[in-house]
Amino acid sequence: MEWTGSIQRAIQALEQHLLEEEAAGMAARAAALSPFYLERGFKMMTGFSIGEYVRFRRLYLAALDVLSGEEKIIDLAFRYGYETPESFTKAFSRFHGLSPLQLKKEPRKIRVFLPLKIEIAIRGGNEMDFTVEKMPAFQVIGFKREFVFETAYQQIPEFWDEMEEKYARPMLAGKAADTAIDRVFRENHIGEFGVCVDDEGMNGRFSYLIAGKWQGGEVTEGMTVYQFPEMLWAKFPCIGPMPGALQSVNTKIFQQWLPNNSDYEIALGANIEWYSPEGSPQDADYQSAIWVPVRKKE
């Protein structure tokens, strides 16, 4: 249960540094995980993003201070990370369902949000269908955009829809590859991969590329090349319509495979979604996969 222990250590670090701006980074170091996998694993196992957890814990502690009646709202706002009393009161009211002044009159309505403790027994994790393959170094090229973890599941499919409308559908309809981007799109099979990376150390954010395997040659403006070293990849097949099938397997990786797996650990703050060029992504038997970079545990 090393993975579960890592998430619990992250929670302990968040609690110790709850009012500090770098709480998430400290949690990643305590968990010995990349911010990318900590964010993903934390969300899958607790139901909250790290940002939500920190925000909700702060608002609960702020409510306790409100009920003590010893400090002004402006002081509480600054203590708990808000720039103005108005923004603090708005967030407080949204979380507790009433304003600080109203809570003083009805203290029983406080929303309690205590530190989380990970105590789970997960079954069947090692029964997930996967293979581990050593792959040589390779490069991908594609369109890159940044996302926050809290909204990525909703916004990444919209990014795909945008790129499909702009490039894929016109080519399927017979449009000639008459621009540099069109040629790169076609020659490198852009859309075969969805690539998540956090090697830039962005707090609460990660990069996502709609990409293909780079064949070399021109890198046009607006496109990005990313290189993966030679390494092991755990590959998890997915069958079913997008994006639900892929998101379901992704959840199982964090909730089942990682906590129960005794052979491998995450090797890099990245993963790859592979999409078959055959069939429609909405087909019930559509094939895709999630690739996770791993290394053997010592």
pLDDT of 264 over the 50 cut: yes
Residue 141 and residue 54 share a domain: no
Residue 164 and residue 101 share a domain: no
Helix (H, G, I), strand (E, B) or coil at 217: coil
Helix (H, G, I), strand (E, B) or coil at 21: coil
| Amino acid in the structure at residue 36 | F
Residue 154 and residue 24 share a domain: no
Residue 267 and residue 161 share a domain: yes
Q: What letter does residue 209 receive in the DSSP assignment?
A: E
Residue 258 and residue 218 share a domain: yes
Residues 18-71: tens digit of each pLDDT: 999 888 888 988 988 888 888 888 888 888 889 899 999 999 999 999 999 878
The domain of 49 spans: 2-109
255 burial level (CB within 10 Å; 0-12, 13-18, 19+)? middle
Residue 100 and residue 187 share a domain: no
Residue 122's pLDDT is what? 45
Domain boundary pick from 75, 109, 143: 109
Domain boundary pick from 109, 142, 166: 109
Number of domains in the chain: 2
pTM above 0.85, yes or no: no
Structure confidence at residue 200 as a pLDDT band (50, 70, 90): low
Flag whether 240 is in a domain: yes
Residue 273 and residue 222 share a domain: yes
- Whichever domain contains 12, its CATH number is 1.10.10.60
d(CA 137, CA 159): 27
Residue 161 and residue 93 share a domain: no
Flag whether 118 is in a domain: no
pLDDT of 186 over the 90 cut: no
Residue 144 and residue 267 share a domain: yes
Flag whether 116 is in a domain: no
- Most confidently modeled of 107-111, 115-119, 120-124, 146-150? 107-111
pLDDT of 124 over the 50 cut: no
Angle, nearest 10°, between helix axes 2-16 and 35-46?
100
Residue 237's pLDDT is what? 94
Residue 132 and residue 104 share a domain: no
Pairing mode, strands 231-239 and 224-228: unpaired
Backbone φ, ψ for residue 284 (5° rounding): -65, -25
Residue 123's pLDDT is what? 46
d(CA 140, CA 195): 9
Residue 60 and residue 24 share a domain: yes
Task: Tell me the H-state helices in 17-84.
Answer: 23-31, 35-46, 50-68, 73-79
Contacts of 242 (CB under 8 A, 6+ apart): 157, 275, 281, 282, 286, 288
Any idea of the CA torsion for 224, 229, 231, 235, to the nearest 10 degrees? Answer: 10
Residue 135 and residue 57 share a domain: no
